[in-house]
Structure 1
């Protein structure tokens, strides 16, 4: 199916090949000769033609960062690669090569016209980044599955498609099916699709298309829900309360606590653990709700600060414009008066007066600028104090809530220890009514041998304490973030 180039050895895309191509395809007149003498920068090249070069591998194109059109047809290329820097590419021709898979196009977000005619491609995929795709040529390949056409439904701007010469094109219902699944298509296999064909296709495949649309709508709704959850999670992260609106933190504390899970078989432990969980989750919800409210307050404080800064700048600029406007009103009159004056003494006097006006304007504008700097400095200091107060209150209250978690944890461990000791004593006396699993019995026996105090694993307690401290650390990180944002704002305002 592909053109064979046995007459020549495969070639490498090196600088020599690229320089020669750029030189030959550039202007040939006097301007072209001058450009060749001075050297042509690859970054300035907008179009590059490299067809019939026996190229085996795409390489060394990273310098063509502004390239719009690239022609690589009729070569020996086996893989689509080396194009990641060509983000401005609009037109790409890779027809008549030996490409087996569509790949390496993820950065070509501006590509509108893609030709992969006469290759060895069996599947249409990996085109998701090409959101501007309008023309797609895939004729003379090995595409045989109708699912490939369904994949193309996501490209709402696709108007021209070529699939002739593929196994899929041999189906009796080929054109009708394509028209039904891609209703916005204008040209198929280089022929315009008439309205009558579209109507017939819609009628014939109405049931399958309706079912497909239903599945697409469900998928779209699911994607939107996932996006909404991601955005919500980002909001929670910004407030440093992610995953605190449920039992996630509690469940994660005991997810890998194998020994603790075994103790749930002890009489009364299950109820004790459930009560502990309920109270723990309530505290987490309190932290969560409080964190969101405080984040809103910090956001309002930041918005207020920005509004104050903008108002101060705008008012200062208006004063400056007003003074400049008054100066310009006198400007033309002063110049005209100087030009019309014939007496040297009067000319010198008027020039001196005009010079004083200019100096005065300069001083006024500089004074306004200094006043603005002082005003913004005061605003920034006030913002810093307000944020510090909010953050300090935030930390104080969250630490108090976390202390409640630790107290609750200690109380739970004390109760669990009492139950465990009582159970061990009953086992020793043979008074336990409930039969325990062997591994639970072994766990209790081990603790009985090593002493009752070893029942609660120090490592587990340490892990839980570490998690609590991690939350406090995240809050401190938020403080640093707000402080850095303040510093950046101050630097930006000083520059302005």
Structure 2
């Protein structure tokens, strides 16, 4: 039995202090279910991570701590304490309601992780600036009344919280200034309640009329921002798709520009005269066309992989669902038979106890009937357990086979794509070689027009003043371009291969985890039934340990 002295544990908080585990346990017991449900609640120890709601109030708490033990908490009240700092709440990611009223908090902070929060109560604190709740987009009710907020900046700040329906700023210095309510009602149109009273349509319209010009300008600016955000999101989504397809930045001339961004000499050579400029533009066109074809291939292959994964998951989920339906039917039959057999056993044991002082033959007959019922239930458990285990073994084997077929199919798709991709990268390298040869010929022809090296423009002498210098410059440029192409090819190959390896390994890990979990669940289920079964043994003179159950035990 898990025993806790609630009074002594709570006495820890009579002086300003910190939340401790013993305080949490005491509160959980005190606020938990009573009577039989309460005994079940704490007979084997408190499972703090299962709590959904707790009130830690009037305990003179100074520092918030140990709340990571309550990871599934939905509702938390820390009101009427002496808390000075909001902290150590990051683990409470499921929290929907937080009450920090009547404390000594000066700064709204450390609330970013609570993105499920719908109600935030900070009434009667020492807050001067409304901030630190940018991530709370689901916030519906905010109470910051009786604080030290002086300016109206919080009104525009709260305008972005589109789910906000109820606000209380009563008894703050800012509310004493003329026009505050008009400003609030006009610029936070999503509000329905202020100080928990409904805002009338006439008050709202009157406020809007007073500030309509500013509101129009504000709405225009907000529309521009939303458009920019939408475009940025569209760009991010597209980039994510291209990244998942391993062809990001191949749909335009990014790779081409990347080659020349590291090759200033090569760029200068391309601008010597009209012929070199035309050669450069033709090279750019050819190079970008090859990149675009590779880009389209990548998108097509991504669609194929996505469809293969969809079909694979469909088959896997169907297999799991079929097995679950069969298992559920078996369990339902067991529970139905259990109810009937247990009722019969109890009746027989009652009769056996009543007849144990009677005729020996009658007692022996009833004892034999009890033994028969016990054996019947044990046999039922034995067969049902074997059935469920057998179904799980079959499903596990099927999942392994399906995973292997999927691995082979996906590997073929990946290898085929990479083979085609290598072909495109070879074309890119070939186009680079052709361009290098073309530029070499054009510049050599250009230089032949000068009767003397002295007449060659000064800015070109160091690049192509003679054949040897030109050859060195072109070789360096060529190597830079090939390196850029090689790195991009290697990046694609490594990323795709790593994704494939990680994905397949994760499938194996998840299936093994599922299999172990199912076996444990089956074992725990039958252990529970066996424990219930053993509890039927009477405490009177007749000892059921004398009844031979060895022939049909679950362990067999």
Q: Shorter-chain TM-score: what band?
A: 0.7 to 0.9
Q: Match of 2:412?
A: 389
Answer whether contact 2:259 2:480 (CA < 8 A) is retained. Answer: no
Closer/same/farther in 2, CA of residues 22 and 246 from structure 1, 3 Å limit: same
* Distance (Å, rounded) in 1 between the aligned partners of 2:413 and 2:30: 70
- 1:443 matches 2:463: yes
After superposition, the C-alpha distances for 1:317-355 in whole angstroms (9 at most, x for unaligned) are: 555566677788888599979979x89599699767887
Q: Match of 2:308?
A: 301
- 1:452 matches 2:471: yes
Answer whether contact 2:334 2:384 (CA < 8 A) is retained. Answer: yes
* Distance (Å, rounded) in 2 between the aligned partners of 1:64 and 1:200: 50
Mark the runs of 5 or more structure 1 residues left unpaired by the alignment. 1-12, 32-38
- 1:312 matches 2:319: yes
Q: Match of 1:36?
A: none
Q: Match of 1:7?
A: none
- 1:412 matches 2:472: no
Q: Match of 1:429?
A: 452
- 1:474 matches 2:495: yes
* Distance (Å, rounded) in 1 between the aligned partners of 2:434 and 2:507: 42
* Distance (Å, rounded) in 1 between the aligned partners of 2:197 and 2:172: 15
Closer/same/farther in 2, CA of residues 448 and 46 from structure 1, 3 Å limit: farther
* Distance (Å, rounded) in 2 between the aligned partners of 1:74 and 1:366: 56
* Distance (Å, rounded) in 2 between the aligned partners of 1:68 and 1:83: 10
The equivalences for 1:95-244 within 5 A come to 99=106, 102-109=108-115, 110=117, 112-115=119-122, 119=126, 121=128, 124-131=130-137, 132=139, 134-137=141-144, 141=148, 143-144=150-151, 148-155=154-161, 156-162=163-169, 165-166=172-173, 170=177, 172-186=178-192, 188=194, 193-244=199-250
* Distance (Å, rounded) in 1 between the aligned partners of 2:125 and 2:446: 78
Q: Match of 2:286?
A: 279
CA RMSD of aligned residues (A): 4.7
* Distance (Å, rounded) in 2 between the aligned partners of 1:21 and 1:313: 40
Q: CA deviation at 1:140?
A: 5.9
Q: Match of 1:17?
A: 17
- 1:372 matches 2:395: yes
Q: Match of 1:250?
A: 256
Q: CA deviation at 1:288?
A: 1.5
Q: CA deviation at 1:443?
A: 2.9
After superposition, the C-alpha distances for 1:352-399 in whole angstroms (9 at most, x for unaligned) are: 788767655555555444443443333222222211211121111111
* Distance (Å, rounded) in 1 between the aligned partners of 2:25 and 2:329: 56
Answer whether contact 1:161 1:185 (CA < 8 A) is retained. Answer: no
* Distance (Å, rounded) in 2 between the aligned partners of 1:493 and 1:25: 33
Closer/same/farther in 2, CA of residues 473 and 23 from structure 1, 3 Å limit: closer
Q: What is the aligned residue count?
A: 461
TM-score (structure 1 length as normaliser): 0.74
Q: Match of 1:6?
A: none
Q: CA deviation at 1:235?
A: 2.0
Q: Match of 1:462?
A: 483
Answer whether contact 1:73 1:95 (CA < 8 A) is retained. Answer: yes
Answer whether contact 2:120 2:143 (CA < 8 A) is retained. Answer: yes
* Distance (Å, rounded) in 2 between the aligned partners of 1:370 and 1:190: 59
- 1:91 matches 2:99: yes
Mark the runs of 5 or more structure 2 residues left unpaired by the alignment. 1-12, 32-44, 352-361, 519-556
* Distance (Å, rounded) in 1 between the aligned partners of 2:473 and 2:165: 69
* Distance (Å, rounded) in 1 between the aligned partners of 2:515 and 2:446: 71
Closer/same/farther in 2, CA of residues 409 and 323 from structure 1, 3 Å limit: same
Closer/same/farther in 2, CA of residues 310 and 116 from structure 1, 3 Å limit: closer
Answer whether contact 2:320 2:395 (CA < 8 A) is retained. Answer: yes
Q: CA deviation at 1:404?
A: 0.8
Answer whether contact 2:290 2:427 (CA < 8 A) is retained. Answer: yes
Closer/same/farther in 2, CA of residues 460 and 138 from structure 1, 3 Å limit: farther
Closer/same/farther in 2, CA of residues 194 and 52 from structure 1, 3 Å limit: farther
Q: CA deviation at 1:416?
A: 1.8
Q: CA deviation at 1:80?
A: 6.0
- 1:263 matches 2:286: no
* Distance (Å, rounded) in 1 between the aligned partners of 2:305 and 2:267: 41
After superposition, the C-alpha distances for 1:16-57 in whole angstroms (9 at most, x for unaligned) are: 822699869977x999xxxxxxx999988944458989x7xx
Answer whether contact 1:158 1:185 (CA < 8 A) is retained. Answer: yes
Q: Secondary structure at the match of 1:456?
A: helix
Closer/same/farther in 2, CA of residues 373 and 444 from structure 1, 3 Å limit: same
Q: Secondary structure at the match of 2:191?
A: coil
* Distance (Å, rounded) in 1 between the aligned partners of 2:21 and 2:496: 58
448-457 vs 173-182, greater mean Cα deviation: 448-457
* Distance (Å, rounded) in 1 between the aligned partners of 2:60 and 2:385: 67
Answer whether contact 2:114 2:136 (CA < 8 A) is retained. Answer: yes
